[in-house]
Amino acid sequence: MAVEGGMKCVKYLIFLFNLLFWICGIALIGLGIYVQIYLNKTLAIKSASASGAPIVLIAIGVIIFFISFFGCCGAAKENYCMVTTFAVLLVLIFLVEIAAAIAGYVFRNEVQDIYRDSFKVSMGKYSNSSSARDEIDEIQKAFHCCGANSSSDWRDYAPYTGSSTVPDSCCKEIKVGCGKDQANIYTTGCVQGIDEWIKRNVGIIAGVALGIAFFEILGIVFACCLMKGIRSGYEVM
C-alpha cells in the first residue's frame, strides 16, 4: 500500500507538473515572439541568422505545449507507452536547450556582427527608403545611439556623405535640424546600445530558462517513477 500510495502521489504530481509545464511552454512562446518583434522588426534585423534564437524559443515553446498532452493522458490512463514518450521527449528538449545555450554563448560575437551588418544595410537605404529611415530613426531614439559603431558612420552614407551632420533621431533633444549640433548628438553606436540592452535583459531570459529546466528535470523524474510503477503492475489509482 505504501508503494501504491506513492505512485498515486506521483500521478497527481505529474498532473500538476504538466500544468506548470504548459504555462512554461506559453511563456517560451511569448518570450520568443517578444524577442522576434523587438530584435527583428524594431531593430531592422532581417537576416535568418538573427532570427534564429527567437524562432528556436518559439519552436521549443510549441513543442513543450504539446508534450504536456502526453504527460496528462499518460498519467490519467496509466499508459506506459505515453508516459515513456513524454519522458523521452522531455529529455530531448532538455538536451536541445543545453545545446542552444552553448551555441548562443559560442557564437555571441557572430550575432553582434550580424546586427552591425544589418544596421549598415539599412543605413545605406536611409535616403531612398521610408521604411528603412523609420526603422533607423526608431532604433536611434530608443537606444540613444547614432550609427552602427559611432555617429561618424553617417559620413559614409547619403544624404550625410562627407559632412558632420547626422539624422535628427541621433539628438539628445530632438528638434528639426538638431543633427547639425555636434554637442547635442549621441556618439555611441547602436550595435553597442543593442548589446547593452541584451546584457540588461539576459538575466530575465536566463531565469526563465533555468525555471523551465528545473520543471523539466522534475517531470523526467516523476515520469520515470510512474513508468516503474506501471511496469511493475501496481495499481496507481
One domain for residues 75 and 168: no
Total of domains in the chain: 2
Angle formed by the axes of helices 48-77 and 2-36, nearest 10°: 160
Answer yes or no: is 120 within a domain: no
One domain for residues 187 and 206: no
Block residue for cell numbers 531614439: 141
One domain for residues 9 and 40: yes
One domain for residues 210 and 140: no
Pick from 66, 56, 55: which is nearest to 24 by CA? Answer: 66
What CATH number is given to the structural domain containing 175?
1.10.1450.10
Indicate the Cα dihedral angle 72, 78, 80, 84, nearest 10°: 20
Answer yes or no: is 119 within a domain: no
One domain for residues 36 and 106: yes
One domain for residues 9 and 86: yes
Q: What are phi and psi of 150, to 5 degrees?
A: -165, 175
Report d(CA 83, CA 100) in Å as an integer: 26
One domain for residues 182 and 222: no
**What pLDDT score does 6 carry?**
65
Q: Residue 60: CB partners within 8 Å, gap ≥ 6?
A: 28, 32, 93, 96, 97, 100
Answer yes or no: is 59 within a domain: yes
Q: Residue 199: CB partners within 8 Å, gap ≥ 6?
A: none
Answer yes or no: is 118 within a domain: no
Residue-range definition of the domain harbouring residue 47: 2-111+202-232
Count the neighbouring beta carbons within 10 Å of the beta carbon of residue 211.
13
Answer yes or no: is 196 within a domain: no
One domain for residues 206 and 106: yes
Instruction: Return per-residue pLDDT of the chain as tens, 237 residues.
Output: 334 556 677 777 777 777 777 787 788 788 778 777 766 555 444 554 455 566 777 787 888 778 877 777 777 777 788 888 888 888 888 887 788 777 767 776 777 787 888 889 889 999 898 888 988 998 899 889 999 999 999 999 989 998 889 999 999 999 999 999 999 999 999 988 888 877 777 777 777 777 777 877 888 888 888 888 777 764 444
**What pLDDT score does 5 carry?**
58
